Chain A
Amino acid sequence: MHADKARELFSAYLEGKLDPALRESLGRKLASDPKLREEYESFAATYRALQSLGSPAEEPAFDLHDRVMARIDRYAWEKARAKEPWFRNWRTALAGGLAALALLSAGVSLMQRGGAPSASLAGTPAVEDRLYVRADGDEAVVAFQTFGRKTVVVREVNQGRELARVEMDGTAYPMGQLFRSPIRVRMDQPSLVHVVVEGREDPLLVAVPGRKASLPREGRGSIQDLALALADRYRVPVVVSTRTDKTDFVWKLGNPDSVAAATDALRATALAAEMRPTGVLWIQ
């Protein structure tokens, strides 16, 4: 057997998939050709090393699914828009131009609760801007998805201090490649921050833990005070995506389970707490 032919059979020989005659022939060749034998041994070592490729599993990004679906929604939306008759596009453009300020101040349907977008494969889908919050240790990471141009501001609630300002241009990314500018929020002291999309009036309230727990485990106060206590005790960002006038929440945070403790504090209301897969405790 020629050496080149023998090399072609290395994989099958190693995997035991050669028919008996070829196997025997290659075996004889390897036994009689030390250089080829050495080549085969290094080939086998490479093959064994390749088996390790299957082991490490990389966790997908927390927003992978949303990123995929945002792209689909955007495509469906653009396709549906392109099908509209030209005079409708013209009218839309004119109306858009005249009412630009009004549109900006009203914003488009911003979804803050992470629910499923309301777009549909058939018909014209609604394309929505979205805010995402995830936990990274005791940091809150805020990401924003938009199909237009928007500015997102993170502001400390108590002193009104601006912590971050990110200008997002969703139109710059082809077909909705998003989430390019996550904002990390790390605070020395437990703090409440507002995430505001400029032009909108309903900021997202996030309680961020400080570097170490510093608040009493028992207390009474507003929903903001409760969120702060929960963030401090359980070392997770807490998002409050609801408004309530109730100010006499009572909490005892002895329970090691954050959701159980939050649920207990919310029991006299219609509010609920859940731990999202993003590691954020969510009250709504």
Chain B
Amino acid sequence: MSGAEDRLLIERAVQGEREAFDQLVRKHERRAYQYAFRLTRSPEEAADIVAEAFFRVYSALRSFRQDSAFGTWLYRIVTNCYLDAQKKSRSRQTTSLSRASSDDDAELELQIEDTSPLPDETALEKERARALQRAIDALPEYQRAMIVMYHGEQLSYEEIAEALDLPIGTVKSRLNRARLSLRDLLSRDLELFRE
């Protein structure tokens, strides 16, 4: 992501140019969505999180410090939106509006789950992916976000530290702990992953 271009767009957006903010969104929305989707595994929830994140970006654009990359800042905001959404859904303990609505796209998403064992190599891959996803979903949200950032989004430890505003040593040790937790969660399925 080009930092200079982002800076220009942000400056123009702060001056009131809607088109500049529109361009900024276009430039980063795909990546933000990929990250949100990897966290939620739901297209609808991911889209809601991205919309909320850009809304927060827009509200706080004037206070954005240009000394860090916009992309990194956006990761932080998406992570916070995700954590807030999880908190909210825990407190509600009800079916979310999008699932209850007549959104047929969301309904289609609900149809893809198939838990029956499959025999061939592709099936093994799928089974691995499913087991891994189950384990990641069982992690505490904060650890999950870190795992997705590092392994899914391929961010470096330094970038994660910047995005989450944590010392790099803390990021490394928390990620190590998250991987240890994952190993424990996968202990029953580890045969799937041995080479």
Contacts and interface: CB of A to CB of B under 8 A. Distances in A.
- What 5 A-B pairs have minimum CB-CB distances, sorted nearest first? A122-B16, A50-B151, A53-B152, A11-B176, A60-B33
Interface stretch (B72-80, B110-118, B158-166, B181-189): B181-189
Interface stretch (A40-48, A97-105, A147-155, A196-204): A40-48
Interface string B37-78: 110000100111011101100110000000000000000000
Q: How large is the interface on B (under 10, 10 to 19, 20 to 34, 35 or more residues)?
A: 35 or more
A61 B101 contact: no
A269 interface: no
Nearest to B181: A46
Given A48-B195, A67-B47, 17 more contacts: A10-B176, A11-B176, A11-B179, A42-B190, A43-B179, A46-B190, A48-B193, A50-B132, A52-B132, A58-B34, A64-B50, A69-B22, A69-B25, A71-B51, A72-B55, A120-B18, A121-B17
Contacts of A180: 97-98, 101-103
Most chain A beta carbons < 10 A, residue from B15, B54, B183: B183
Most chain B beta carbons < 10 A, residue from A46, A48, A57, A182: A46
28 contacts: A8-B173, A8-B176, A9-B176, A10-B176, A11-B175, A11-B179, A45-B195, A46-B182, A47-B179, A49-B186, A50-B132, A50-B182, A52-B132, A54-B151, A58-B43, A60-B30, A60-B47, A61-B105, A64-B51, A67-B47, A68-B50, A71-B51, A71-B52, A75-B59, A125-B18, A166-B102, A177-B51, A181-B102
Given A7-B180, A8-B173, A51 B151 contact: yes
Contacts of B183: 39, 42-43, 45-46
B21 interface: yes
Interface in B91-138: 97-98, 101-105, 128-129, 132, 136
Contact of A57 (B17, B34, B180): B34
Contacts of A182: 103-105
Contacts of B154: 54
B18 to A, nearest CB: 5
